[in-house]
Structure 1
Amino acid sequence: MADKKFDIIVYGATSFVGQIITRYMHTQFADGSIVWAIAGRSRTKLQQVSDTIGLSGIEMIVADSADEGSLRQMCAQTKVVMSTVGPYALYGDVLVRVCATTGTDYCDLTGEPQWIRKMQLRHEADAAKSGARIVHCCGFDSIPSDLGVHFLQRNALEQFGQTCGRINMRVANMKGGASGGTIASMINMVKEAVSDADLRRELKDPYSLCPPDHGFFVPQPDVQIAYDNAYGGWIAPFVMAGINTRIVHRSNALSHNNYGAEFTYEEAVATGQGAKGKRMARVTSWGVNALMIGLAVPPIRWLLENFVLPKPGEGPSEKAQLEGGFDIVFLGSTAQGETIRCRVTGDRDPGYGSTAKMLSQAAACLAKDVPDTVAGGFWTPATILGDRLIDRLKAHAGLTFEKLS
């Protein structure tokens, strides 16, 4: 791919998160270390973004998510396409197909497991043949989870000579509003599941994103309201666990069961201690359950979409993004009862500020750090980017990865 004009094309640069990414790319790669361009379906809107940010010398490419010809012309010019155009189940199919057949590396922000599985089934063989490396879930879902587990397991191997057979992730603190794009993806997934019994069964399978021959059969934890003695506080279900846990299990499968054939992994929100922590756990659990039930009932879904939930293109102010952040803790244990704790933090709100930096650095890592000899196919952030991306995130994206005493 040495003859490509660009290292990265930001596809969907006019979207809310796309503009944040474009601004970050403009600042981060002002030294010319990454040659990049912006793309979208409207030249007028691309020009507005360019003028607002001051993208002198950054080219604009017009390409529509439904126009395969324009997407092929775009992919012919770049090593990596970074896509923000979601919900991906509605707008992402053609671009993944084009990348998989043309050998163009690809990364995105999706948190839609049903769509990822569909893309794997349809395009894995093409990507392997062409050499395209496809990497989904390069935002808050699921880089902190996937790389956090990877980081803990590397430290466990160094400390104990073996990886941990069980890891529990706890969201210790998270400040930031839900992404309108993420909400739209959730709504679309619920709509699909309501009318598709096979999809409902698939969404209950913790190994649905693993290769067909994964061989994992261990039941995974079903997080409910509980007191977690190991962490020292009450916990409740975490709304992003559905995608994050599946990506972590796929990483285990792709790394030849490096975490163990009986590896178990769960994610939960830590709500505090005592009666107050228990009350907060109940409120959190009820909130998550009420949201999912509401999205499944058409009249309630209409009310939520139109009057309550953020819409695609909507998001927090720059001030709110700067004031956001996240702090998550991983607790690992080996079969012999040895324990280890690690922590991952981010300095911006998860859904926008931190996600924009994570996706940008994932694309840069794909373009610059991953050898061309790495095979094509559908990877996870941990299995293809791993320590290379951790280094980039620590140096340039405001994330920390640390082993706790």
Structure 2
Amino acid sequence: MHRLNIVLFGATGYTGRATIPALYKLTKKGATNLTWGVAGRSREKLEKVLQDASTELSTSLSHIPIIIADVNNEASLNEMAAKSQVIINVCGPFRFYGEAIVKACIANGTHHLDISGEPQFIETIQLKYAEAAAANKSYIISSCGFDSIPADLGVVFLQEQFKGVLDSVEAHLQTSSGSKSRQGPFFNYATWESAVNGMNDYANLKLIRQKLNEKRSKVPPKRSDKKKTIFKNQITGQWSLPFPGADTSVVKRSQQYFYEEQNKQPIKFDMYFCVDSISSVISSLFLYMTLSTLSRSEFGKKLLLKHPKLFSFGVFSHDAPIDEERKESKATIFMKGNGCLDINSKKYSNKPKDLIISRIAAQDPAYGNTGTIVTLAAITLLEESDKLPNNGNGGVFTPAAAFSRTTLIQRLNTNGITFKIVSKY
């Protein structure tokens, strides 16, 4: 059987439904049309989601192939993988549903892209499957949504635009709901479930990282820089707090790769999220402390999972976000790069200065544009595999390690995720 170029697994979930329009539009661009299909457990639900997308797009998607696949059925996952060149996996939490699909992809020489923001899953896959993926010529690339391509490739973009040695990058995430009278949650329940389980299992993440460190071929020089905690940033004029997502760990792994494989000085990266007032700072800290404390015990974890709306102040809920409100949301990442314009210098002691600032912006970042980002990543993989690491022969990589030599940033720029320098030297 001729393989489809792309199969979307988890198409009936909230993110999957938001990804289908991007798949339809973006696979029709360019010199040739790419083929794609949808996969999940229920044919009835898959047919329904294609009907809904047909109404939204004003075109029939009844011809789109449907593949029945269940994470609890290894044979069905192998059959799905055998029918596709690339699997886009949007079925989370990935700690529960991701590894079986990765194994099926590797067994069948299929590439796997996901949108995971779960460090335990992401780094476990690197630890366990890097060698097998390379042996079977499968690319396994996690964090290919708004978590964490804008941050990871944003550092690459800043480095490309800076004519010198970039030493460190400080990123500030600014979000807007787009609606003053918001009725629904900001994020779906699966994201909350991932966060709660991740904090509950943090001790295991430290063990995974210890094992990964043992496999490092080179250890980068130690940095004496101290991370800021809570401060008022000069870019947006808002309060910045350490961002608890996966972006920092993903960027750190990319910088480790560039150091090992290209002998580049690792860039120190810190990520923050912005709030407007001291009261928002206090409520954010209270939410984090509550989540951190309760998630340590099984009873507390069950409590958090049962009452997401209560413990997240309405940010998360068992109900899905309202589509109209979701589409009005916006996110902007400002990146401040510090470095030295002396290209012959590779020492930390050159007292780097604030010399460059970029802005990365997206509408509907968590869902609609996450669908766009992961679809463009899949298309780039298919069309520019010769520019990927390991000479196109597969492996487990971060987004920046995989796509730094491709045109993915340009593709994002022409499809609603803009990268722009706003201040230079």
TM-score per shorter chain, which class?
Answer: 0.7 to 0.9
AA matched with 2:422? L
- Helix, strand or coil at the partner of 2:44: helix
Alignment match, 1:182: 191
Q: For 2:161 and 2:227, how far apart are their aligned partners in 1?
A: 27
Alignment match, 2:34: 34
User: What is the aligned length?
Assistant: 385
2:3 counterpart (2, 5, 14): 5
- Helix, strand or coil at the partner of 2:360: strand
The yes-or-no answer on 1:251 pairing with 2:249 is: no
User: Does the Cα contact within 8 Å between 1:179 and 1:352 map onto a contact in 2?
Assistant: no
Alignment match, 1:361: 376
- Helix, strand or coil at the partner of 1:218: coil
- Helix, strand or coil at the partner of 1:64: coil
1:6-405 alignment runs, 5 A limit:
6-30=4-28, 33-54=33-54, 55-156=61-162, 159-160=163-164, 162=165, 164-175=166-177, 177-193=186-202, 197-200=203-206, 212-216=216-220, 217-218=222-223, 221-228=226-233, 233-240=238-245, 243-256=246-259, 260-261=264-265, 263-272=267-276, 277-309=277-309, 310=316, 314-335=319-340, 336=350, 337-338=352-353, 339-348=355-364, 350-371=365-386, 373-386=391-404, 387-396=406-415, 398-405=416-423
AA matched with 1:40? G
Q: For 2:2 and 2:256, how far apart are their aligned partners in 1?
A: 32
User: Does the Cα contact within 8 Å between 1:113 and 1:209 map onto a contact in 2?
Assistant: no
* Greater displacement, 41-50 / 291-300: 291-300
User: Does the Cα contact within 8 Å between 2:239 and 2:281 map onto a contact in 1?
Assistant: yes
Task: Give, in angstroms, the shift of residue 395 of structure 1.
Answer: 1.5
- Helix, strand or coil at the partner of 1:334: strand
Task: Give, in angstroms, the shift of residue 202 of structure 1.
Answer: 5.3
Q: For 1:311 and 1:38, how far apart are their aligned partners in 2?
A: 26
Task: Give, in angstroms, the shift of residue 170 of structure 1.
Answer: 0.8
Q: For 2:379 and 2:125, how far apart are their aligned partners in 1?
A: 23
Assess, with a 3 A threshold, how the Cα gap between structure 1 residues 230 and 16 changes in structure 2: closer, same or farther.
Answer: closer
Task: Give, in angstroms, the shift of residue 363 of structure 1.
Answer: 1.5
User: Does the Cα contact within 8 Å between 1:221 and 1:264 map onto a contact in 2?
Assistant: no
Q: For 1:311 and 1:220, how far apart are their aligned partners in 2?
A: 38
Assess, with a 3 A threshold, how the Cα gap between structure 1 residues 81 and 219 changes in structure 2: closer, same or farther.
Answer: farther
RMSD: 2.7
Assess, with a 3 A threshold, how the Cα gap between structure 1 residues 342 and 180 changes in structure 2: closer, same or farther.
Answer: same
AA matched with 1:218? R
Gaps of 5+ in 2: 55-60, 179-185, 310-315, 341-349
Alignment match, 2:345: none
TM-score by length of 2: 0.82
User: Does the Cα contact within 8 Å between 1:128 and 1:376 map onto a contact in 2?
Assistant: yes
- Helix, strand or coil at the partner of 2:88: strand
Assess, with a 3 A threshold, how the Cα gap between structure 1 residues 125 and 131 changes in structure 2: closer, same or farther.
Answer: same
1:288-310 Cα deviation digits (max 9, x unpaired) = 23222233344443333223344
TM-score by length of 1: 0.86
Task: Give, in angstroms, the shift of residue 23 of structure 1.
Answer: 2.8
AA matched with 2:175? N
Q: For 1:320 and 1:346, how far apart are their aligned partners in 2?
A: 15
Task: Give, in angstroms, the shift of residue 63 of structure 1.
Answer: 1.0
Assess, with a 3 A threshold, how the Cα gap between structure 1 residues 332 and 295 changes in structure 2: closer, same or farther.
Answer: same
Percent identity between the two aligned chains:
27
Assess, with a 3 A threshold, how the Cα gap between structure 1 residues 304 and 263 changes in structure 2: closer, same or farther.
Answer: same
Assess, with a 3 A threshold, how the Cα gap between structure 1 residues 308 and 122 changes in structure 2: closer, same or farther.
Answer: closer
Task: Give, in angstroms, the shift of residue 115 of structure 1.
Answer: 1.6
Q: For 1:259 and 1:19, how far apart are their aligned partners in 2?
A: 41
Assess, with a 3 A threshold, how the Cα gap between structure 1 residues 264 and 171 changes in structure 2: closer, same or farther.
Answer: same
User: Does the Cα contact within 8 Å between 2:140 and 2:395 map onto a contact in 1?
Assistant: yes
User: Does the Cα contact within 8 Å between 2:127 and 2:212 map onto a contact in 1?
Assistant: no
1:105-160 Cα deviation digits (max 9, x unpaired) = 1100111111222212221111111111111001121111101111101111xx33
Assess, with a 3 A threshold, how the Cα gap between structure 1 residues 6 and 224 changes in structure 2: closer, same or farther.
Answer: same
